[in-house]
Amino acid sequence: MKEFDPIAYKKMVKEHQENDNPTAWFDSIYTDAQGDYKAVFWADLEPSPYLVKWLKENPGFIENTPLSKQKKAIVVGCGVGDDAEALSEYGYEVIGFDISKEAINLCKKRYPNSKVKYLVADLFDYDKQWFQNFDVVYECNTIQVLPGKYRIQARIAISNLLKKHGHALVSCRSRKKGEQEDDIPLPLDYDEINKFVIDDNLEEISFLAYDDTQVPSIPHFFAIYKKNKE
Ligand SMILES: C[S@@+](CC[C@H](N)C(=O)[O-])C[C@H]1O[C@@H](n2cnc3c(N)ncnc32)[C@H](O)[C@@H]1O
């Protein structure tokens, strides 16, 4: 396994972003793990506790209904699969997709008997049948690793996956406006995440700002939005 070097990593990401090639480097993070999903430096190796809390109250099936009533969820940039598996465990029919082929290989190797459909796909060019087709869209840390206009495109593409009455769950690092503007990853400030409401017309159902358990701790947002209109 290749040792993670944060300085070289940030330089590599910045170069890709400056060359307007912002998604070409993701696969290298997974290939550097050389087949070991535990070696992917950004993987928590457990589902978000905030996602699990929500799933306990909002499972993807209603008992004693036919399987066709199962709700559909999609996980954007699913990485090594923990959040997709949690949605599946709570009864959702799940697609987990990632632009990285090696991330998807790791998911399939890690969960050989999974019910999740793991796919290589691009948030910026996904299957037209996915448009407004999901009850739940889960996004964790994808927008923050993209630059400039791609962040806006990503947010819109996420919102467009939602069917009417569907929920988008958005988890990310956060920052105060005007701070950390050159950081990699670049956390979202409140105005940016609130564009799910202001520009995409979603309703804010809940919004949590919290510090994680790392030392030193890193501020995060966990927001839940609902689509009320077509
Ligand atoms: C910081 S990682 C987070 C991975 C995972 N969600 C997690 O929380 O561990 C961002 C993920 O988004 C994926 N990604 C970036 N751009 C993408 C795109 N345009 N379409 C699909 N996946 C993308 C990357 O390959 C990577 O797996």
Q: What is the CATH number of the domain that holds 119?
A: 3.40.50.150
The answer to whether 86 and 52 are in contact (CB under 8 A) is yes
**pLDDT score for 91:** 94
The residue whose CB lies within 8 Å of the most ligand 1 atoms, and thus the one to mutate among 4, 25, 76, 99, is 99
Q: Tell whether 26 is covered by a domain.
A: no
Q: Tell whether 22 is covered by a domain.
A: no
Number of domains in the chain: 1
Residue nearest to atom 27 of ligand 1 (CA): 79
**pLDDT score for 67:** 62
204 vs 49: CA distance, rounded Å: 20
| Secondary structure percentages of the chain, helix, strand, coil, to 5 | 35, 25, 40
**pLDDT score for 66:** 65
Asked if residue 98 has its Cβ within 6 Å of ligand 1, the reply is yes
The answer to whether 222 and 208 are in contact (CB under 8 A) is yes
Q: Tell whether 218 is covered by a domain.
A: yes
**pLDDT score for 69:** 79
Q: Tell whether 29 is covered by a domain.
A: no
**How big is the chain by its Cα radius of gyration, in Å?**
17
What residues of the chain score a pLDDT lower than 50?
none
pTM attached to this predicted model: 0.97
Q: Tell whether 86 is covered by a domain.
A: yes
184 vs 51: CA distance, rounded Å: 24
Sign, Cα dihedral of 41, 43, 45, 46 = positive
**pLDDT score for 1:** 64
185 vs 144: CA distance, rounded Å: 6
Strand partners, 120: 98
**pLDDT score for 2:** 73
Q: Tell whether 187 is covered by a domain.
A: yes
- Which domain, by its residues, includes 80? 46-227
Asked if residue 100 has its Cβ within 6 Å of ligand 1, the reply is yes
Q: Tell whether 13 is covered by a domain.
A: no
Q: Tell whether 19 is covered by a domain.
A: no
* DSSP-derived 3-state class of residue 160: coil
Residue nearest to atom 8 of ligand 1 (CA): 140
Asked if residue 99 has its Cβ within 6 Å of ligand 1, the reply is yes
Ligand 1 center–CA 67 separation, angstroms = 29
As a whole-number percent, the residues of the chain with pLDDT over 70 amount to 97
